[in-house]
Amino acid sequence: MNNKTDIRYLGWSNIIVSSSQGSLAFDPFYRPMYGAKWASLEDYKDVKVICISHGHHEHYLDTPNVVKYTNAKVVSSKEVCEHLNKKYKVPKENLIPVSPFEEVTVEGFKITPFPWYHRKISYLKFFQGNLITGMTFGLLNLFKSPYNAPYYGFYIESPDGLKLLNFTEGLNNLFPTEEMEELGAKFKPSVLVGGMQLHYENDVARAVRAIAPQTFIMYHPHEKLFGSMKIKSSSPEIFVARVKEAAPQVEVVLPEPMSSVQVDND
């Protein structure tokens, strides 16, 4: 069993967690879009499991290609799994629909989804900021993605003992503190993964304090998308400062796209 785990950030909300039995990917997305060009299909060659948090296009659209390339199993909501099968012909044997707090073990990874809260989206800002970006965003979500599928976060235990809680982009003002405290108490993760965006720095800090991991891996899930629309977010330094004020004992890591973080297994 490995003593450390490699966690690779590939941009967007796209995380790959390695293990001695293969890798697990969250929300794979590698196509060039909105000025971003980071990962490629080859970056997923060792992926055995894919967890899809929700059906928005930048969390979803490249999953069929990754499944075809790797034969990975997909763990997500029933709605996401049904869409992958009907729209993209992903075989049912590759799809594992789960409900909130239903634990499954896939390729050595113990996986438990939980419901999370997506921030409110202002579509007016999308079109005001950049008409082409707004139209692309709307059309891909409307015609290519299961846009209204439920929102899931995931807790995983890797074959090597890592305990990780992934909030994907869902650290915002809508998530009740008591629910985050319950997740922290239930799972006791050593690693928390989540997004920083807009001006949710106090809510990100609130989440880290409530969950109390050893390490918090924080990234901007929509840096290029927001940049194309001239939507501003607080600086990473402000997010880090708020987190350290709320939870000074937590190590905060800000990975760049296509970089890796080494964390200790439990």
Residue identified by tokens 């069993």 is 1
Domain parsing of the chain, residue ranges: 4-264
pLDDT tens string 48-99 = 999 999 999 999 999 999 999 999 999 999 999 999 999 999 999 999 999 9
Dihedral of alpha carbons 239, 12, 135, 147, sign: negative
Q: Kindly state the tokens that stand for 56.
A: 């928005």
Q: Which residues of 90-111 are buried (b: 16+ CB within 10 A; e: fewer)?
A: beeebbbbbeeeeeeebbbbeb
Amino acid 156: pLDDT: 98
SS3 content of the chain, % helix, strand, coil (to 5): 35, 25, 40
Amino acid 143: pLDDT: 94
Averaged pLDDT for residues 144-164 = 97
Q: Which CATH architecture has domain 4-264?
A: 4-Layer Sandwich (3.60)
For residues 145 and 116, what is the distance between their CA atoms, to the nearest angstrom?
19
pLDDT tens string 85-114 = 999 999 999 999 999 999 999 999 999 999
Dihedral of alpha carbons 164, 170, 172, 174, sign: negative
Asked if 209 contacts 184 with a C-beta cutoff of 8 angstroms, the reply is: no
For residues 26 and 77, what is the distance between their CA atoms, to the nearest angstrom?
14
Q: Is 193 helix (H, G, I), strand (E, B) or coil?
A: strand
Q: Kindly state the tokens that stand for 191.
A: 């690693």
In the sheet where 95-97 sits, what is the strand order?
95-97, 73-76, 47-51, 23-26, 15-17, 4-9, 259-264
Asked if 187 contacts 165 with a C-beta cutoff of 8 angstroms, the reply is: yes
Please report, as a single letter, which amino acid is at residue 266.
Answer: D
Amino acid 128: pLDDT: 67
Averaged pLDDT for residues 108-124 = 89
Q: Kindly state the tokens that stand for 126.
A: 């999308």
Q: Are strands 152-157 and 95-97 parallel, antiparallel or unpaired?
A: unpaired
